[in-house]
Structure 1
Amino acid sequence: MSIARFFDRVEGARSSLVVVNRDQPRPVQRMLSRLFEDQPVHVEESAIPDGAHDVVLLVRDGDVVATSPLEDVMQSVLLVNSDLFSTGARTLADAELPTVLTEIEETRFDVRGYPASETDKLLLIAVSRAIERDAWLSGEGRLRSAFQYLSRIRDESGTRAVYDTLGDSDLDVHVYGVPDWVPPESVGVTIHGGYGSDFRRGWFVVHHRPDGGGSALAAYRTEEKRWTGFWTSRDDLVDDIADYVAYTL
């Protein structure tokens, strides 16, 4: 049993991101396509007479479910890399994601880590930080985050800065991983160390509100440098993920 049990709870619906009336250079379109390469998200572009320029539409089952400026997509994921999150160059306050990305929820992503891919994991990393940001802004509830190895909090200056900030807030923050390092009491988090598969392979960030629901990312390392995961804001699914983590780990 692992957090991968929740993968069967998402439908895996296919979505499309449509860039409308693109004025940005063609490499921007190529970067967006590469970000979702081999994923259940189709990327295309379209010219619409008299329509707004440089707009991204999220389309599902023929319906437009979200729109965002292309500039927001560029600044949040296309023009950044994962190092900006780990080094702290991209702060918690900068971690907001446009709705065309957050609304690709309950879609299973299969991603590869570096060096197999420089972009695959980026969206899951960005969603993780966005959930942390939303929890911080809400200032309430419980945040549960897995790091595989707790030493990542120490070794990644950006991650340490984020969890110093979260631990200093009114959130109840819990961290999970192999206890190869123990965060000092000053970080303000509750530590859960272990050596089971969820501690070694699990990647989750779950913000559970006091009244239930919230948002969650759940992923699992299926093999070396390869992950499967999704994110959701569906209340019953967030509740179940939060309960699983609370009572199992």
Structure 2
Amino acid sequence: MSYETILLEIEDAIATVTINRPKKLNALNRETIQELHEAICELEDDSDIKVIIITGSGEKAFVAGADISEFADFSVKKGKKLAAKGQELLFDFVENLSKPVIAAVNGFALGGGLELAMACHFRVASENAKMGLPEVSLGVIPGYGGTQRLPQLVGKGRAMEMIMTAGMISADQAMNYGLVNHVVPMEELLPLCKKLAQKIGNNSTVAISYAIKAVNAGFMNTVNGYEQEIEAFGECFGTDDFAEGTTAFMEKRKADFPGS
């Protein structure tokens, strides 16, 4: 199968999926999310593939966020649908995949990009990587699982700070927080990910699939935080702050939020 926004390379039972929108810093749009879903479905069904690596093209960005131009004029209903569909097609799908998925974070991982990296089973970062969830600076909240997965990985307090300040952290900070497992020079990023993938590939694929399921189950509870996130994310689309935040972004100026 051929793709417009991603590249697929297979070598020694390891599949490397590269998000390839360099002019947009690999920002996620609907087409990219759909193509990632289709490619990962294909790899999941391929018994020869043992591990999947997801990365971005170039050396500037893993994924620098979502493509804001696609949803700046969305209604509350459309906002909820956007989050729900994205979680189903890609983020929840990746997290619950039976095959291990490693994020090779090569630069900016912001917004939906960090959410995609967090949906992967673990993360390796290049030294120049920067990570953050800047959504509140646009008058919205993370809608692809960020409010749920970030606290699981770094703790509630750090997650709250990252989300509320909309700031970025360095690769070293991410390492200290437990957000990434390793930080290496750019030229060592994919080689290390492939080395780890080879180690994983030496083990039982069936046991690994059960391990993934068991670990994920430990983070489930009676309150569905993801459904709560979808509701809140969608409601943001009906606020004046969202209208101002997205307009300011498009006009390349600082937002002046009315607080409503």
Asked if TM exceeds 0.5, the reply is: no
Higher normalized strand content (fraction of residues): 1
Normalised by the size of structure 1, how large is the TM-score? Answer: 0.31
More helix as a share of residues: 2
Normalising by structure 2, report the TM-score: 0.30
